[in-house]
Amino acid sequence: MMRRLWRRLVSHSMVARLLVAQMFVLCLLWLLALVYVVHDATRDKVTLELESISDAIIVVAENELAQPAKMQESIRKVEVALREMAGVDINAFPGPSFIVENGEGILYRSVEVPEGARAGPLGELPVFESGGTSWRTRTVQSPRSDVRVTSIMPADGVNIFLRLASRGTLLLPLLISFPFLVLPAWLSIRLAQGPWTRAMADLATRGPQDLRPLPVEGRPRELVAMFSRINALLARVSDSAQRERAFIADAAHELRTPLAAMRVNVEALQRQASDPRQQQLLDGIVSGNVRATRLVSQLLRLMRSDATSGEQDENICFDALVQERMAALAGIADTKGVELELSGDDGLYLSGRREGLVSLVDNLLDNAIKYSPEQGKVLADVRRSDGCAVLRISDQGPGIAPELRERVFDRFFRDPRQAQSHSGSGLGLAIALAVARQHGGSIALDAAGSMGLCVTVRLPLKA
């Protein structure tokens, strides 16, 4: 239970780990201080070193020497006062206790003095055992008479308690303030994390194709080493992606020529073939060639949409571009009997790359036509909204299940329900998304009424 709670609180949070580490160091320092005080108590002997106590008892004994009863009463009150000052039970605590004597004998002996206690060498602190307990004594001689006072104190844990009580001003504030140190410690950690938080915010604003190195100037030394390694990784990823794009683009270019030559040859054979079976086989080859050519074209478009530099931005009338592309694809729509309809606002100008935007519109319209039923309708609406050009393309096809509307933007992924009935490469929406992001826009999929799909593209207008 405790281990699970510890993992939940600390394992997944650097702030919690640093906070626990600070509190641990504080506890460790407190323990070291406690060990020092305990060690010091075993050497210092607290009450026995207080000369003023022995001097006071000597003065009482000398002044009341003629009145023994009054002298014993006065010394007993001194004992009681010392125990009350130490904050201990007067009856339970056996020290400090005293033996007062002179040349004639014992003048006073505390009732708590253990058996075997006697005066020792002056200035020393001998230890003796009595009743299974260690005791320490100290004998002081009066400079004015032959009166001697022997102080007896326990030499075990009770003495340590007295030392802690006498030095409470050093330890108690630490113990009392410990809970209140958590908030300042947490605030200090959060402030120290400021550079890291800002760096993470910078990374969060980057797109998937932005592999620029992270700036290291002005960063704390602790982050420079990590940022340098991240930059090295970004450089390797960028080089690898560039080589991949170059390879695919070169391969696609190389495939275009043989595919075109093969189609010309197959179409020539079709004109000469008289056998229906041969004609059917050649039709299948032509159909496969068309799909392969389309895939090559899609790959080239994908590579161009992934590129982060090259073409210069230009002013583009987006509504006119959509109208132009609908006219270009009208022949494909007529083949299926699909009606294309355009509505919206005029004069929507963007700053972007024309070829990329053409790919975006073509792929969305082509998908809408392909998945629409015969005699269906595809609606394209271009509007100005909140500083953006909003293109909505709706069809009357089977639509896409809500749980797949994110995945269909992955490269080569296709809705399993449509993969058998409709040909495609699974790259169209990936290309459209890449182009939209290049232009600072977004794409969202939604249902178009009871059936069909509505694709919404938002692109920022030119300021």
309 three-class SS: coil
Locate the domains of the chain by residue range: 46-154, 224-303, 311-460
pLDDT of 72-111, one tens digit each?
Answer: 888 888 888 877 776 555 555 566 788 899 888 898 988 8
In DSSP notation, 365-411 reads HHHHHHHSPTT-EEEEEEEEETTEEEEEEE--S----GGGTTGGGST
Residue 42 or residue 409, greater confidence: 409
Task: State the DSSP code for 122.
Answer: B
Q: Which residues on neighbouring strands pair with residue 136, listed in sequence order?
A: 127, 153
Instruction: Return mean pLDDT, the chain.
Output: 78
Q: What pLDDT, on the 0 to 100 scale, is given for residue 323?
A: 92
What is the β-pairing status of strands 377-385 and 339-344?
parallel
pLDDT of 1-54, one tens digit each?
Answer: 556 655 655 556 666 777 777 777 877 887 787 677 666 655 545 566 677 888
Residue 214: pLDDT band with limits 50, 70, 90? confident
User: Is the separation of the CB atoms in 290 and 310 below 8 Å?
Assistant: no
Same fold, 224-303 and 311-460: no
- For residue 239, give the amino acid letter: D
User: Is the separation of the CB atoms in 369 and 418 below 8 Å?
Assistant: no
Q: Which residues on neighbouring strands pair with residue 99, listed in sequence order?
A: 109, 150
Q: Which two tokens stand for residue 286?
A: 């032509």
Residue 140 or residue 195, greater confidence: 140
The predicted model scores a pTM of: 0.47
Residue 239, CA atoms < 13 Å, CB-side half-sphere: 6
- 311-460 is classed in which CATH architecture? 2-Layer Sandwich (3.30)
Kindly state the average pLDDT of the residues 420-447. 80
Residue 309: pLDDT band with limits 50, 70, 90? very low
Distance, CA of 308 to CA of 301 (rounded, Å): 13
User: Is the separation of the CB atoms in 314 and 352 below 8 Å?
Assistant: yes
Q: What pLDDT, on the 0 to 100 scale, is given for residue 25?
A: 81
Task: State the DSSP code for 13.
Answer: -
Q: Which two tokens stand for residue 235?
A: 């450089």
Q: Which residues on neighbouring strands pair with residue 378, listed in sequence order?
A: 340
CB < 8 Å & 24+ apart, contacts of 292-295: 292/255, 292/259, 293/256, 293/259, 293/260, 293/263, 294/425, 295/425, 295/427
pLDDT of 167-189, one tens digit each?
Answer: 554 566 666 777 777 778 778 77
Pick the CATH number of 224-303 from 1.10.287, 1.10.3430, 1.10.10, 2.50.20: 1.10.287
